Structure 1
Amino acid sequence: MTHVTPTRLSDGRELIYFDASAGSAETHRGPAAAADQRGLPPRGATGDVRHDALTGEWTAVAAHRQTRTHLPPADQCPLCPSSSANLSEIPARDYEVVVFENRFSSFGPALGGLPSIAAGEAGWGTTTPAYGRCEVVAFDSSHEGSFGSLTPERARTVIDAWAHRTEALSAMDGVKQVFCFENRGEDIGVTLLHPHGQIYAYPFVPPRAALMGQTARRYFDSVDGRETLMGSVLESERTSGERMVLEGKHFSAFVPFAARWPLEVHLVPHRRVPDIAALNGSERDELTGIYLDLLARVDGLYTTPTPYIAAWHQAPLDPELHPASYLHLQLTSPRRAEDKLKFLAGSEAAMGAFINDTTPEQVAENLRNAASTGTDTP
């Protein structure tokens, strides 16, 4: 069972070590985690979110993120274990998996609910604190890599960390959506090469999650709750097989019929669960292997590592949307060829109308045929 060790950084931010066992925790850090020696100043005030009267959406204003660390040299990496020459965000001299509150957070540290905008009101000029929380998940102590470069044991520990944090963040005041994700590659905008992901606890349901939740709820109601929309889609894809990439006992991966991105794969559990925390041990075990296999195939498409966003869509914490929502991963990449990227230009960026440069069926075939070996460096 994963061993959890919470502590605090010198500015009060929470940091949690996750180890495969109590024995491995002892091996890596001894009986207690090292204290943060940096003497950081107190955290700044919570930023703002502003209501967009034209769309009904919320936008976070986080100008302080302009000063965040950008592609530092290895000996100054903030996610590597601390040393005498580099007092990093992680005080321990070694670790397995670590989660800590982001120093350059878009949401939080204050918690609370956003004001409601009454039906028929524009809400123009509404500004409120950006309640919520942003966390960083360091997948491994190695300086370079990604989730796909992890050992199965380490990947399993990360999944347990995601589950732990999903459950904890979902219980926090005002949180409406917990989003675990990994950005991989400078083409995606990654600013740290260290293998890591992030978790956002939003004070609202983000637009895409709200749209998917509303669509799923309409379908759920139309069939009197006999099945979910994602469950129906998964059954259709498995029956057709044309866009399937991988199938296991508990999970399947397929390229969606109406994929928006040149490379897009959905990884879906066979039973409806709302979030990662609801997966049982057997499901987490299989997820570890099938996810690593999928990432290896994604990297096997080209001679260099594929940039991607791996987005875990969990059920919004909204009583109307939650019952029909279905945990799944959407992995997308803008890479449309070995040396070409898909840019979100006029139609996509301005109108939200995607035009795909590849066919889902061909992408699925390419992934099935890709060697299950990655190009990432452990």
Structure 2
Amino acid sequence: MQTFNMEEHPHRRFNALTGEWVLVSPHRAKRPWQGQVEKGQQEKRPGYDPKCYLCPGNERAGGIKNPDYSGTYTFINDFSALLADMPEGEENDGELFRAESEKGICKVICFSPRHDLTIPEMSHEEVCGVVDVWQKEFCELGEEDFIGYVQIFENKGAVMGCSNPHPHGQIWSSRSIPVEPMKEQERQKAYYNKHGRTLLADYLNKELEKDKRIIYKNDHFVVLSPYWAVWPFEAMIVSRRPVPDLSGLSEYERSGLADAYRQLTIRYDNLFETSFPYSAGLHQAPTDGKQHPEWHLHMHFYPPLLRSATVKKFMVGYEMLANPQRDITPETSTQRLKEQPALHYKSR
């Protein structure tokens, strides 16, 4: 009888944050690869594009003109998914047909006036400016009496649905708590009520002890590949101090978050020497006026690339009908990311 080996044998891993499972099949990663391995085409963009609706001084939809901004800049999304001025209403036709009105505020955040830069190509000081604006927007939106949750996120790359290559993210704030943060809310609250400590504080301490999935760390934040990762090079940035949300971060901690954000994305770009696509976002405490000591600030990164700049992982078949599955283990992807230089490949 063979001895079970998590690096060799199929197994399921439990996601302590959501209560869900992922199937890991490490033996499949050893099968011969005869597909594409080429590098992606290096896109060269100008520092300013007169046709880009996010560049300084350019006109957006409806004739609104951007100011000649020089740092990070935010504005109300011209095509917002949520609107602040919404009538109350609902449909409640028994247990099977339910709907209710939803309201909120959606904003766009331009990381830089430069059209040709992304986060890993910006300076540490410039990324600090992004994090500072995150904090400001979180606090201001969270103070609105009808806003219960503020979701800050970034879609990088056309494959992730990004409609404009200008470096930017979005902030969608809503009255209700969205599905994914609500899953984490319930798991973290149950853990805190049982142990008197945040789930991610205990998880992070264990990860630091094991040191098998740590990609990068500084005095205030740790970058790791989660034990329960679904995407091939999935990562998470976790604050060392169990602070519930951005409002509690000091200047030094904001600098630490900017450093972790930049260092992870540099390693992403270096992995296949391409502008590495991903969806990323902060998960933090709701802004519903209640105390949330169970919440622990963290940021998720979900990148689709699998074997090269052009080979992607898709959720299909079994994953859509049963549960997520991955071949390379989080430990393997951690090692590959750790091996990447801290200097961006375009600068070498």
Q: Which amino acid in 2 is paired with 1:343? A: F
Correspondence for 2:188 = 216
1:207 is aligned to 2:179: yes
Correspondence for 1:297 = 267
Stretches of structure 1 that go unaligned for 5 or more consecutive residues are 1-72
Shift of 1:361: 0.3
Q: Which amino acid in 1 is paired with 2:99? A: T
- Shift in CA distance, 337/107, structure 1 to aligned 2, threshold 3 Å: same
How is 1:25-40 mapped onto 2 (pairs within 5 angstroms)? Answer: none
> Partner of 1:100: helix, strand, or coil?
strand
Correspondence for 2:136 = 164
Q: Which amino acid in 2 is paired with 1:126? A: A
Correspondence for 2:50 = 75
Correspondence for 1:13 = none
Are the aligned partners of 1:145 and 1:193 in contact in 2 as well (CA < 8 Å)?
no
Distance in 2, Cα, partners of 1:348 & 1:330: 20
Correspondence for 2:35 = none
Are the aligned partners of 1:97 and 1:139 in contact in 2 as well (CA < 8 Å)?
yes
Correspondence for 1:362 = 332
Are the aligned partners of 2:52 and 2:58 in contact in 1 as well (CA < 8 Å)?
no
Alignment coverage as a number of residue pairs: 300
- Shift in CA distance, 114/99, structure 1 to aligned 2, threshold 3 Å: farther
Distance in 1, Cα, partners of 2:155 & 2:177: 21
Residues 150-183 of structure 1 show CA distances to partners (whole Å, capped at 9, x for unaligned) of 2222111111100000001111122121111111
How is 1:295-334 mapped onto 2 (pairs within 5 angstroms)? Answer: 295-318=265-288, 322-334=292-304
Q: Which amino acid in 2 is paired with 1:124? A: F
Q: What is the TM-score with the length of structure 1 in the denominator?
A: 0.73
Q: What is the TM-score with the length of structure 2 in the denominator?
A: 0.79
Correspondence for 2:342 = 372
Residues 320-363 of structure 1 show CA distances to partners (whole Å, capped at 9, x for unaligned) of 78321111011110111103111121333344x21113210011
| Alignment match of 1:104 (pick from 76, 79, 82) | 79
Distance in 2, Cα, partners of 1:131 & 1:204: 9
Between stretches 272-281 and 162-171, larger displacement belongs to 272-281
Distance in 1, Cα, partners of 2:156 & 2:162: 6
1:179 is aligned to 2:135: no
> Partner of 1:134: helix, strand, or coil?
strand
| Alignment match of 2:99 (pick from 118, 121, 126) | 126
Stretches of structure 2 that go unaligned for 5 or more consecutive residues are 1-47
- Shift in CA distance, 122/175, structure 1 to aligned 2, threshold 3 Å: farther
Are the aligned partners of 1:301 and 1:367 in contact in 2 as well (CA < 8 Å)?
yes
Q: Report the aligned-residue RMSD.
A: 2.8
- Shift in CA distance, 75/269, structure 1 to aligned 2, threshold 3 Å: same
Distance in 2, Cα, partners of 1:180 & 1:84: 24
Shift of 1:303: 2.0
- Shift in CA distance, 326/241, structure 1 to aligned 2, threshold 3 Å: same
> Partner of 1:306: helix, strand, or coil?
coil
Distance in 2, Cα, partners of 1:175 & 1:85: 26
